[in-house]
A and B are shown apart, each in its own frame.
Chain A
């Protein structure tokens, strides 16, 4: 049992009380100081990226303007909950990173930043079209996109070569063929099919789209998941799983494929740049035989997953102009350029000015990430932003359609179930 002496207990109580008082007073202090801002970010996979904001950017801005910018880091996976809390209660940070369709979800709680967005676009070579797909709500920019974290194919060049492949397969069919050979050689594939946040959507939506399947039409009402195109994508996925992958992929969450790739369990997966990044740091020999490629193409083209990161200003921010000025300053090439550089290309810009930036020359194997940005879309595409989109993701409708097929259910049944769920979600039943 833990014994606490009287003295130390009193000390503990005193410290707790002081701590609690401090916490209670903190927000009021921030509020009282007229020129201080808080920016909330999810902890970056690239730690120098966070450090650069805190130590360099925030310091430089304070020196130039006197406005202190606090950088509030949220653990991975926790940002949506924090944004929800801030938006619902109307307190907390002044600005935050928002992803996916959050600009739409929190529309009423975020301010219009169209003026800055247009200015930035003009200054920096124009926006990628799909940047708007995530943040423009009813014709208004509700956040300023600063990067896409693309999801691409990560593969082992040495093992592919062993199986007779110098280049990464260009089509899904060729990928299946390669996977069968590689699995025979003891190097299976591993793609996430479980309930994670990113690496499952990262390849399953592009697979669906590249076969011509989609959940809903551009009108956001007509459910079209039940199609021959979807059936072909599902059949393909079942084969890819059974003939090339580890059984465990069905349970995988986002860390699983990184772990499996770096421990040499698998020869190919779909992931952000984090595998190569980690290998360079911890397994330099392995890093030499890793490459990254765009997703294979299907009968209807080549697609990628849009994973937008954007800065939004909460409507509860007391001094909105101060926050807007800061975002305008942050997005200027003098600030944004070095910030991108520090993370090499883990964050892919949505502004054409950076298409040939120096950071792309540091690691040529990252170039496919730049080239993939234009063909990336959000889950739910081509329908406009909606709440139904979030519900579909939360219920893993599309992911589980594929996963159930992999566990042996018939294509017809899994599509019928997905259709029933989508009809309920889009309220069209």
Chain B
């Protein structure tokens, strides 16, 4: 306790401690706001991630103690021929599906940005593939892609384009990858289109008017007004799409389970099979984690390439 005589002078210079004011200090308040999400991320993302790294350095069969083996799991993956097929499959799947979604989504967004009858209804319906749970819509696709019941094969046969039963969409290794990409694009397109549509609507009509007065054609307006302004949105949505597509699991697991003969096996399905069916957690973790560096590089490259131009 301090001497009472000093108290008034002190309280005049420095008001008594107030919790409210303390909270309002920028450096305290900012930490206060940031801490819960950081803890949340640390618990739900950070911990599993680092635990995953730890697991990948262990020989850790299910239901038994693990032993530390360094990078042996990664070395094993390196020498595993299926692993390289998985790498190739994942890249093909991600690259083709993302490009199709990007161009398709942009096209769809441009169309949706026009005025037409039932515009709102169409926009709402557009989201349907995205809303339906993946496993459910994938089961519907299973029927569409089954030659015996396929509406596609039925149509092709009816038009005399193929001999019955028609192509085996999932049984032929090349068609299987193509079919999976189509289903992925069908599912992911609405996300692209709606996000890009939101971006399009933020572009001020005055810019288009000004461009038109300057004699810009429709293509010019798209090339010099729409595209540069849309770059940040395209970047964000592509980044998300690459991550989702790269780590896709449900769709492939339900439709082909990585078959035929690993023609559609990707990182997520292969890692899951090895960890859960094979009971080798260490190996599964190592394979899943090899996804991280290429994904990080891809995102970095995209960030550099699609960086919004500071001068505009």
Binding site for B on A (CB under 8 A): 80-81, 84, 87-88, 105-109, 193-196, 246-253, 256, 259-260, 263, 265, 387, 390-391, 393-396, 400, 403-404, 407, 417, 420-421, 424
Contact A248 to B170, CB < 8 A, known contacts A195-B259, A395-B82, A407-B260: yes
> What chain B residues lie within 8 Å of A107 (beta carbons)?
63-64
Complex Cα gap A250–B283 (Å): 27
- Give the distance to chain A from B19, nearest Cβ to Cβ, in Å: 30
25 A-B pairs whose Cβ atoms sit less than 8 Å apart in the complex: A81-B276, A84-B62, A84-B63, A105-B279, A107-B63, A108-B64, A194-B260, A195-B257, A246-B165, A246-B171, A247-B168, A247-B172, A248-B146, A250-B259, A251-B169, A251-B176, A251-B260, A253-B257, A265-B148, A387-B279, A390-B280, A394-B278, A394-B280, A396-B262, A403-B261
Answer whether residue B188 sits at the interface, using C-beta atoms and an 8 A cutoff: no
A196→B278 CA distance, assembly (Å): 14
- Pick out which of these stretches binds chain A: B10-18, B30-38, B73-81, B196-204: B73-81
Nearest first, the 4 A-B pairs at minimum CB distance are A394-B278, A251-B170, A195-B257, A250-B260
Task: Judge whether A390 and B172 touch: CB under 8 Å.
Answer: no
Contact across chains for B262 and A400 when beta carbons are under 8 A apart: yes
B-chain residues with CB within 8 Å of residue A84 when the two chains form the complex: 62-63, 276, 279
CA–CA, A105 to B168, complex, Å?
Answer: 37
- Closest chain A residue to B263 by CB distance? A407
Interchain CB contact under 8 A, A421 and B261: no
With both chains docked as a complex, state the minimum distance between the C-beta of A140 and any C-beta of chain B, in angstroms. Answer: 16
Pick the most buried of B61, B62, B81: most chain A CB atoms within 10 A of its CB. B62
Q: Which residues from B are CB-within-8-Å of A404?
A: 261
Asked if A407 and B277 sit within 8 Å, CB to CB, the answer is no
CB distance from A307 to the nearest CB of B (A): 15
Q: How far is the CA of A249 from the CA of B171 in the complex (A)?
A: 6
Interface of A is mostly: helix
Q: Is the CB of B260 within 8 A of A109?
A: no
A293 to B276, CA, bound (A): 33
Instruction: Give chain B residues whose Cβ lies under 8 Å from the Cβ of A263.
Output: 148-149
Q: Is the CB of A251 within 8 A of B256?
A: yes
Query: Residue-by-residue, is B271-299 near A (CB-CB < 8 Å gives 1, otherwise 0)?
Result: 00110111110010000000000000000
Q: Are A394 and B168 in contact (CB under 8 A)?
A: no
- A424 touching B76, Cβ below 8 Å: yes
B171 touches A390 (CB 8 A): no
Question: Please, how many angstroms separate the alpha-carbon atoms of A2 and B79 in the complex?
Answer: 52
Contact flags B157-174 to A (C-beta < 8 A → 1, else 0): 000000001001111110
In the complex, what's the smallest C-beta–C-beta distance from A99 to chain B, in angstroms? Answer: 12
B residues 61-104 near A (Cβ < 8 Å) are 61-64, 76, 79-82
Contact yes or no, B257 A108, CB < 8 A: no
Interface flag for B147 (CB, 8 Å): yes
Closest to A109 in B: B63
A262 to chain B, nearest CB (A): 11
Separation of A87 and B63 alpha carbons in the complex (Å):
6
B190 within 8 A of A: no
User: B258 an interface residue at 8 Å Cβ cutoff?
Assistant: yes
Given contacts A246-B147, A394-B273, contact A87 B173 (CB under 8 A): no
Q: Are B168 and A248 in contact (CB under 8 A)?
A: yes
Write the B130-154 contact mask toward A (1 if CB under 8 angstroms, else 0). Answer: 0000000000000000111100000
Kindly list chain B residues whose C-beta atoms are within 8 Å of the C-beta of A400: 259, 261-262
Interface centre among A105, A265, A394 (most CB of B within 10 A): A394
Contact B62–A251 (Cβ < 8 Å): no
Complex: A387 Cα to B63 Cα, angstroms: 11
Residues in A whose Cβ lies below 8 Å from that of B257: 194-196, 253
Among B149, B172, B260, B274: residue with most chain A CB under 10 A: B260
Contact among A80, A251, A394, A424 for B171, CB-based, below 8 A: A251
Measured in the bound complex, the distance between the Cα atoms of B270 and A195 in whole Å is 11
Shortest distance between the CB of B92 and any CB in chain A (Å): 17
Residues of A contacting B61 with CB < 8 Å? 105, 387
Closest chain B residue, CB of each to CB of A391: B278
Give A285 to B258 CA distance when docked, in angstroms: 37
**Chain B's nearest CB lies how many Å from the CB of A358?**
38
Q: Which residues of B contact A407 (CB under 8 A)?
A: 173, 260-261
B86 shortest CB reach to chain A, Å: 11
Instruction: Give 16 A-B pairs besides A105-B62, A259-B148, A395-B274 with Cβ atoms closer than 8 angstroms.
Output: A84-B63, A194-B171, A195-B256, A195-B258, A195-B260, A248-B171, A250-B173, A260-B148, A387-B61, A391-B279, A393-B277, A394-B279, A400-B259, A403-B260, A407-B173, A421-B82
Cα A47 to Cα B181 in complex, Å, equals 37
Task: Assess the A106–B262 pair: CB atoms within 8 A.
Answer: no
Chain B contacts of A195 at CB under 8 A? Answer: 256-260
* A residues in contact with B165, CB < 8 Å: 246, 248
Most buried by B among A87, A109, A260, A390: A390
Say which residue of B259, B262, B278 sits within 8 Å of A251 (CB atoms): B259
**Cα distance A396–B255 when bound, in Å?**
16
Shortest CB distance B160–A (Å)? 19
